Amino acid sequence: MNLREPKKKRTKLKLQLPFPIPLNEPQNWPIYTAHLTDVGTCIIEPDEMAAVHSMGFFGKGSLSRSYPSFGKRRYEAPPVIRNRQWVRRQKWLEEVKELNSSNYKDVKAIAQSEEENVTNNDEENIGDVVEIPSNSIENGNKQRNETDTKNIKIDEVTLDSAEEDDICIIINRDTKQQCDNTESSPNAYDDMNNSEEEEEQYQELNNYDFKSDCENENENQHGKLLVLPDSDSDTENYLKNIKPRIENEGFPIREALHLTFEETFFLLFGLGCLQVVHFDGSLLNINSAWLYFCKEKPDFLQKYIVYHYYRSKGWIIKPGVKYGGDFLLYKEGPPFYHASYNVIVEVVDADSLIIDSTMSSRTMTWTNLYGYERLSENAAKEILFAQVLWPSSVPRDISATSPEILSEFTVRELLWRRWNPKRHREDVLIEDEDEDSS
């Protein structure tokens, strides 16, 4: 059977490794981290997102069509957003400020109540008078002087680190008390420090910015937005009086890379380069991830078998919901070629070769088949049935199984093509001539 050559795209991208692992350096095997979600998993680290998607085209950006590129500069121009998006982000920023200020006030009130309890306990203990001999006082003064000379050496400690330049200052309490006694009022200095600290903290809350969460190399080039008016305006002179403006990005939106259950388990089980974090913060091993995916997605087993089968053949697999199928097969990746096949997954009994409609996600009729064929033909794709042969040794209920049963399944391919008499008339004539000669 002659297979059609896929249509190539015009792109300047270079083809990278087929998988996000170093094939020639097994000692430097990377481990990526994905967090569990309701529909799959997500990777939030920018470096890991770029590696997983560029090498193998795994996943999809949460706010983009393919590669996570939302909010990034293009052609040295800042990201473009609409005015309604800008207003929404400013509202979120105000809500975060209010939330942080309320939390700060609650913490401060708790600290003040604890300080009041400590002062009350000290006042109660002042009434007790204890006589101390003079010899013990002299010995105590000597010990105090010795401890003072020891503490002078660690009054200030500077921690120099390459990542964080933090300064830790340790102040001797006795010297601080002596300085306080020289002032006219003992509580004036403390009150002034408290007021300054409150002003600084409130100033930080008012100027709250999420730029520390984003890894920006240059503040002059990053953190800017190009705000345009709303495009759904009723005015006819929208393009004439568009009036764009540049604003500082006070509430940046971070994008994540979403992975399906099949992609997650292939990276976890097939390649061993992924670790999955559960909702409670624990790590899922292969067996626990298998049971969870089978529970959350009833057709996970047959779809993962097909996914693993075509990934092992070098195809790039993407969801096929757009064309009514289960998967789309790409040669080298979506940036280089258009999709070649629209894959439909079916479950077939291995002994009788009868389709099990209870295990399939759709009921295939002639009417539905004509619709799939017309849609795929208009998009220059072919329908490929991937039939999973279910052995009799594997029960239909896989809730108590393990990934070891995957080796017992096989996949049979069935390519669907519509026969046109005008296009295939030569084939019919050749077959008739062969029958006459025999």
**Residues with catalytic annotation?**
330, 338, 381
Residue 277: strand pairing partners: 35, 283
Nearest to 152 by CA among 175, 179, 181: 175
Q: Report the 10 Å Cβ neighbour count for 64.
A: 14
Distance of alpha carbon 372 from alpha carbon 342, whole angstroms: 9
The residues, any chain, with a CB within 8 Å of residue 157's CB and separated by 6 or more, are 168, 169, 170
Q: Which of 343, 336, 345 is nearest to 6 (CA)?
A: 336
Joined together, the tokens standing for residue 368 give: 């539905």
Give the whole-angstrom CA distance, residue 252 versus residue 256. Answer: 13
For residues 274 and 267, is the Cβ–Cβ distance under 8 A?
Answer: yes
Gap between the Cα atoms of 353 and 410, Å rounded: 12
Residue located via tokens 């340790």: 170
Classified as helix, coil or strand, 430 is helix
Alpha-carbon torsion, ordered 189, 195, 196, 197, to 10 deg: 110
What is the C-alpha separation between 368 and 377, in angstroms, rounded?
Answer: 14
Q: Is 71 left (phi over 0), alpha (psi -120 to 50) or beta?
A: left
Instruction: Answer whether 399's CB lies under 8 Å from 291's CB.
Output: yes
Q: How far is CA 207 from the centre of its chain?
A: 28
